[in-house]
Structure 1
Amino acid sequence: MRRRTRTCVVLSCLIAATVAVPSPAFADALPTGARSLEAVNFPGRYVRHQDYLARVDPVTSASTAQTRLDATFTVISGLASPSCYSFQAKNGSFLRHLDWRVRLDANTGDARFREDATFCAVAGSTSGSVSLTSFSHPDRRIRHRAYELWLDTYQDTAQFRADSSFRLTAPWSPKTNRGPVIPGLYADPHITNFNGRYYLYPTTDGYAGWASPYYKAFSSTDLVNWTDHGVILDHGPDVSWADNSAWAPAVIAKNGRYYLYFSGGAASGDTGKHLGVAVSDSPTGPFRDALGRPLIRAGAYSGQAIDPMAFTDDTGQSYLYWGNGAAYVVPLNADMVSFDPAKVRDITPSGYREASFVFKRNGTYYFMWSENDTRSEDYRVAYATGTSPLGPWTKRGVVLQKRLELGIKGPGHHSVVKDPGSDTWHVAYHRFAVPAGSGTNRETTVDRMTFNADGTIAPIVPTL
């Protein structure tokens, strides 16, 4: 059985494997979302970027709006490790170290950038403060020298500890937009409701070639405040047949268990994408590979075996949908991890690219999908209606597309959820991260979805 050996992400073992320095105490988990970082030994000076170089400068309520903006960062799950953190500026770039200087650069998505832009948190020199060690050079910490930020080798002195300690404070430039609903780079969100609580399962984004290796789960009671439940399936240790390309998960409850359908690829030799299924007793995992092999292998059907989605009809019969370039559906067996290949049906509509999603409302079945390429600002969502989960389908048109006056590009790969006991619907989807995102730097948001009197879907208005 082939397994990928992952770089250790526990800070203490990184340090032990690199150089003998005193093992610092772990800091409490950092709060994600918008924050500013104040120097412990220079109160009133905050980490900010100036001409893309990071430094600590005075910031007050009287400072210019630009200065306050430059001193505000979004703390997100680490680009190189979910156990650590990355710091995204309001312009979309990230703090990273380059030749030991800390600066601000756009995310290229390659492994070197992700590692250089990831920092692990340890306790700082004073109560409540934090020091940030480099993920790729754990013997070095961010510190200020003459108000400039550098990545310096740890020194066991009071001065060094003070110079490398920061307090996370309320942001100087508070968030004004409703989205993204979860901080960081996430795409292909699957939203659902289990037992009155909403769950969101996205692709972890920000990787060149979409090579992310793991999935996380988030949950909420109000679609605004989300709890991060951490990694629920990691292709490295958890899936024998895949290392990367952890794309577009979809989770469904059945038989008192939770089934996660996912895409995966291998790092060496095998360039195709397969579709797998994992199972858990909890919606927040951990999930285990149910088969030890793909459910659908690359090449078994035309197009790519990606973007799975499961739907259970009122009869109790569940169906699996998938495909890129071609759309397929098949009834699932009662075990939810097998099907009869003879029952696979091609349901590809005109304009179809990927990301099938099916739901039922007032006796009508809705089949939705994404058109164009996810790297294009013209990525969008269209739909059709039918009288059964298998079709036939009547195309109704595009319902979600870009809104350039707000800087919203490439909205797509969506999912929908209904408030329990009501006819209120919501749509989760990704878009290019605002303001400087791309087809591999995407963010997840949620908006309302409404219906016209005749049951057709009203145009979905993407919002910030």
Structure 2
Amino acid sequence: MRIPSVLAVLALSAGPLTVSPGVSAAAATLPAGVRSFESVNQPGSYVRHQESLGRLTPVTAGSSQQTKLDATFTVVNGLASPSCYSLQTRNGLFLRHRDWRLRVDANTGDSAFRADATFCPQDGSVAGSLSLSSYNYPARRIRHRDSGLWLDTYQDSPNFRADSSFRLKSPWAPKVNKGPVVPGLFADPHLTSFNGRYYLYPTTDGYASWSGTYYKAFSSTDLVNWTDHGVILDHGPDVSWADNSAWAPAVAAKNGSYYLYFSGGLARGDTSKHIGVAVADSPTGPFRDALGRPLIRSGQYTGQAIDPMVFTDDDGQSYLYWGQGAARVVPLNPDMVSFDPARVRVITPPGYNEAAFVLKRNDIYYFMWSENDTRSEDYRVAYATGPTPLGPWTKRGIVLQKRLGAGIKGPGHHSVVRAPGTDTWHIAYHRFAIPAGNGTNREVAIDRMEFNADGTIRPVVPTP
């Protein structure tokens, strides 16, 4: 079960992910994005990492580029709690405390590291400043002492308050790459549109064994600027039959409601995975478990019961696709939460591993999937075409694969959306976080996806 937030009142329930450069954060808030942190009582000195240790040192326009990089952090979703935050360095490490000393390390994904690398904002000593308390030791705050950064027990004194207060500033080393779309570690993105607005539903990543417990929703009008709508479903309090492995959500609209299909696991140590469905009145939730039990249970069919996806055809019929190792499809009943088991069909194409996705364009159905393992840099997206949502399918080739020259590894588990009223298509996918990611430290990117005159898909060149 996820540890309860110590600052639930600071949930990111609304508000843009980006803030204009140079605008300081309001007290006790910490907007996501690339930032630098200036000391309140030592103006011109900034939080930075040097030889793995957190320090407070002067930074100026004449400082070396490496110093500027070391003094730049990306504020991301809290590794231990979505109500707090983590600070990621430009080389992909995370600021964390160890033996009360602040340092930077690679995210191991275990619960101890995630807690050590999560901080919650408090009011700073002066207007417009903030202080960062430890998620797992809330009585302690980050402060500078003898040029080092330490996690010390809070003291209600002017000196301590000043030593532990910082102003958010424009980053010394601004972000130059296009991706990721939303700051932080997310994977398995489901990108769709409702009522002229785009919605993104990813897996929350950065957990060892992919043991995350909750889903967030993001929305945008332009696929560039995203609003974080906070947690929309949490396996801990919201799902009686699952408490971890919150994987690969997909959302569909029908009957005036929104249906969230998701994968879930039971108590830790049990590797069984099941597929559930939740329902809400809004695309941003909150969602509630529609059945109080799995829609598809582990072992009910061969292959792992994960990665649900729903495609709705022009006639209004919706189809549920799922499975790792074996791909299956079944027409959903009108209630969107049941189906006739006798109508389940196996449609596994050559090379299929997981992450089925279906779309329709010009009366051609496209069945897409991910090949290889998500922990491999060779994870990639392939596709086939067919005359119906059930196939038969003819494999066409690879749509998306690694681009090592740009540092892109393991791009896969995608979704596709068409810009409303156009023939413009976009593909969302995850990849190893650049530059220090791996199969459990992934990030979400979006690129254009284009078609040839004969209806085949042009290979997508992933952008950094």
TM over 0.5, shorter chain: yes
Q: Aligned to 1:369, what secondary structure does the other structure show?
A: strand
Pairs within 5 Å for 1:74-113: 74-113=74-113
Q: CA deviation at 1:11?
A: 3.4
Match of 1:9 among 5, 16, 30: 5
Q: CA deviation at 1:153?
A: 0.6
Q: Which structure 1 residue ranges, 4+ long, deviate > 6 Å from structure 2?
A: none
Q: CA deviation at 1:399?
A: 1.1
RMSD of equivalent CA atoms: 1.1
CA distance in 2, matches of 1:29, 1:410: 34
Contact 1:71 1:172 in 2 (8 A): yes
Matched, 1:397 2:393: no
Q: CA deviation at 1:147?
A: 1.1
Closer, same or farther: CA 12–417 of 1 in aligned 2, 3 Å: closer
Gaps of 5+ in 2: 10-25
Q: TM-score scaled by structure 1?
A: 0.95
Q: CA deviation at 1:375?
A: 0.2
Pairs within 5 Å for 1:376-415: 376-415=376-415
CA distance in 2, matches of 1:371, 1:313: 25
Which residue of 2 is the match for residue 167 of structure 1?
167
Deviation string, structure 1 residues 1-30 (Cα, Å, up to 9, x no partner): xxx5x53313399xxxxxxxxxxxx94431
Deviation string, structure 1 residues 151-199 (Cα, Å, up to 9, x no partner): 0011110000000000111100001111101000000000000001000
Pairs within 5 Å for 1:203-352: 203-268=203-268, 270-352=270-352
Which residue of 1 is the match for residue 42 of structure 2?
42
Contact 2:6 2:135 in 1 (8 A): no
Which residue of 2 is the match for residue 63 of structure 1?
63
Matched, 1:459 2:459: yes
Which residue of 2 is the match for residue 364 of structure 1?
364
Contact 2:101 2:150 in 1 (8 A): yes
The amino acid of 2:170's aligned partner reads A
CA distance in 1, matches of 2:215, 2:63: 40
CA distance in 2, matches of 1:303, 1:322: 10
Contact 1:232 1:286 in 2 (8 A): yes
The amino acid of 2:182's aligned partner reads I
CA distance in 2, matches of 1:349, 1:270: 29
The amino acid of 2:61's aligned partner reads S
CA distance in 1, matches of 2:7, 2:278: 29
Q: CA deviation at 1:269?
A: 6.1
CA distance in 1, matches of 2:186, 2:30: 19
Q: CA deviation at 1:317?
A: 0.3
Contact 2:354 2:369 in 1 (8 A): yes
Which residue of 1 is the match for residue 22 of structure 2?
none
Contact 2:244 2:268 in 1 (8 A): no
CA distance in 1, matches of 2:270, 2:102: 38
Q: Aligned to 1:409, what secondary structure does the other structure show?
A: coil
Q: Aligned to 1:49, what secondary structure does the other structure show?
A: strand
The amino acid of 1:187's aligned partner reads A
CA distance in 2, matches of 1:116, 1:446: 31
Which residue of 2 is the match for residue 18 of structure 1?
none
Contact 1:11 1:138 in 2 (8 A): no
The amino acid of 1:336's aligned partner reads M
Contact 2:139 2:154 in 1 (8 A): yes
Contact 2:252 2:260 in 1 (8 A): yes
Q: TM-score scaled by structure 2?
A: 0.95
The amino acid of 1:279's aligned partner reads V
Deviation string, structure 1 residues 203-260 (Cα, Å, up to 9, x no partner): 0000000000000000000000000000000000000000000000000100110000
CA distance in 1, matches of 2:6, 2:435: 32
Closer, same or farther: CA 182–52 of 1 in aligned 2, 3 Å: same
Closer, same or farther: CA 12–336 of 1 in aligned 2, 3 Å: closer
The amino acid of 2:66's aligned partner reads Q
The amino acid of 1:332's aligned partner reads L
Matched, 1:188 2:184: no
CA distance in 1, matches of 2:269, 2:429: 32
Deviation string, structure 1 residues 375-429 (Cα, Å, up to 9, x no partner): 0000000000000000000000111000000000000000000001110000000
Gaps of 5+ in 1: 14-25
The amino acid of 2:51's aligned partner reads D
The amino acid of 1:114's aligned partner reads R
Pairs within 5 Å for 1:85-164: 85-164=85-164
Q: CA deviation at 1:273?
A: 0.1
Closer, same or farther: CA 149–269 of 1 in aligned 2, 3 Å: closer
Which residue of 2 is the match for residue 446 of structure 1?
446
